[in-house]
Amino acid sequence: MLFFLISCLSFIILSKSLSLKPLPPWASKLKLLSIWFWQEFSSFLVSWSRESKLTGSFFQSPASMPMNKRPASLKLEIVEETPEMSILDLPELALECILGKLPPSGLCRMAGVCRSLRDRCRSNHLWESHMKKKWGGVIDRAAYREWQWHIASMKDVSAPRKTKKKSLVMSLSCMCSIPWARSKYDKPRSSLPVDSIMSWYLALESGKFWFPAQVYNREHGHVGFMLSCYDAELSYDSRTDTFYARYPPHGRRTAVIEDGVQWDRIRAPPVDTPPHDLHVSDCLNDLHPGDHIEIQWRRNKEFPYGWWYGVVGHLESCDRNENHCLCSYSDTVVLEFNQYTHGSRWRQTTISRKDHREEGNEADGFYGGIRKLYCKEEISTWKRLWPKEVLE
């Protein structure tokens, strides 16, 4: 288009100057060139407009053109810049719902975003559900008391200030063994409150906190402990999702550590009775043939008690007919351990319903307190652990 205007301008100048003075030789050539260009350009426009059928739209005024075809320079738009929305801008209920859906690893990562989220993600009500879901079946009040003593030892006011600070840092270093928590809590400014549920959860997850619990069929299912459950201290191994079980020393035997203990072999102690104390039996008058029970037993007085599974049997004088059975009214209660073969000295024992206390001898061991099993889940657990072969 620019070349076209220049050519037209040259043509006009030469035309006006033609009547004033003679043209120089080069002017004639330029005039002919301009005329030729104009003819060629006009022919091009005519043919192009016919082929594309855009002659009308090509010469439309900008005011009559559709909005989407107007030049960008004619558009007048008001664009307001809006700030990007943050997760903290969400309503309180929505934010709590999101945080409540996060797994422990997600809460730890979210806590590293900013100070506000860090405080929220550490709150006890968020971690309480995770604690119950993963650890509720293996920890109880005894484990919580152990944790409180552990906290108290770290908060010992009698320790020098410098030593106390070092002890706190060492206690929180247990989190460094957890990959998804390591990067978030390795700085002093991010130190966790030691009495928070999150701190307890991470201490359990790291495996550096040993907690009291009970283990079924201790020492990899040793034949001498089949269908028993013994107290132990446990430490979690997150790499294998199993536990180390540390059984206390007794008699001449040193402490035993068992590895690879599966979740389904662990339970929280059902009663708050230390392993060396006699359990107070409060179910003796409610024992009937066919009831499932657990009874304390130990090899000698130096050993801790273990809980052994059995059932209430019938007296020898009973014909086992439900309509004529009087075993429930007898002062003598028969306990059977059917995992042992007939004739085995471990197959059966009797206790006094009215005056029961520890009974036994050094040869057969000592029987202690009894607890009746009412929960179907407890009974099914014992049946699942039933040995494949009858024991001698």
pLDDT in tens, 21-39: 455 554 455 455 455 555 6
| β-sheet bridge partners, residue 215 | 230, 266
Q: Taking Cα atoms as reference points, which of 270, 235, 261, 218 lies closest to residue 378?
A: 270
What is the per-residue DSSP string for 50-92? Answer: HHHT-HHHHT--GGGS-GGGS-GGG--------PPPPGGGS-H
Average pLDDT, the chain: 79
pLDDT at 185: 43
Half-sphere exposure of 57 (CA within 13 A, CB side): 8
Mean pLDDT to the nearest integer, 83-112: 84
pLDDT at 132: 94
The lowest-confidence range among 84-93, 114-123, 350-359 is 84-93
Confidence of residue 46 (pLDDT cuts 50, 70, 90): low
Mean pLDDT to the nearest integer, 245-260: 87
Structure tokens at 58: 């090509």
Radius of gyration, CA atoms only, the chain: 45
pLDDT at 224: 86
Helices vs. strands in the chain: H and E counts, helices first = 13, 11
Q: Taking Cα atoms as reference points, which of 242, 219, 241 lies closest to residue 230?
A: 219
Q: Which residues contact residue 117 at a Cβ distance below 8 angstroms, ignoring those fewer than 6 apart?
A: 87, 88, 110, 111
Mean pLDDT to the nearest integer, 173-188: 49
Q: Which residues contact residue 266 at a Cβ distance below 8 angstroms, ignoring those fewer than 6 apart?
A: 137, 138, 213, 214, 215, 216, 234, 243
Mean pLDDT to the nearest integer, 282-299: 96
Confidence of residue 3 (pLDDT cuts 50, 70, 90): very low
Angle between helices 124-135 and 92-101 (to 10 degrees): 30
Q: Mapping DSSP to helix (H, G, I), strand (E, B) and coil, where does residue 266 land?
A: strand
Q: Taking Cα atoms as reference points, which of 246, 273, 241 lies closest to residue 260?
A: 241
Mean pLDDT to the nearest integer, 65-77: 50
Q: Taking Cα atoms as reference points, which of 84, 88, 89 lies closest to residue 119?
A: 88
137, 268 Cβ separation under 8 angstroms:
yes
303, 250 Cβ separation under 8 angstroms:
yes
Confidence of residue 160 (pLDDT cuts 50, 70, 90): low
Mean pLDDT to the nearest integer, 283-308: 95
The lowest-confidence range among 154-158, 311-315, 364-368, 371-375 is 154-158
Confidence of residue 51 (pLDDT cuts 50, 70, 90): low
pLDDT at 85: 72
Confidence of residue 192 (pLDDT cuts 50, 70, 90): confident
For residue 66, CA distances in Å to 59, 61, 75, 79, 387 come to 13, 10, 11, 21, 87
**pLDDT tens, position by position, 115-125:** 888 888 899 99
Between 236 and 114, residue with greater pLDDT: 236
* Per-residue pLDDT at 170 exceeds 60: no
Rounded Cα gap, residues 218 and 308, in angstroms = 12
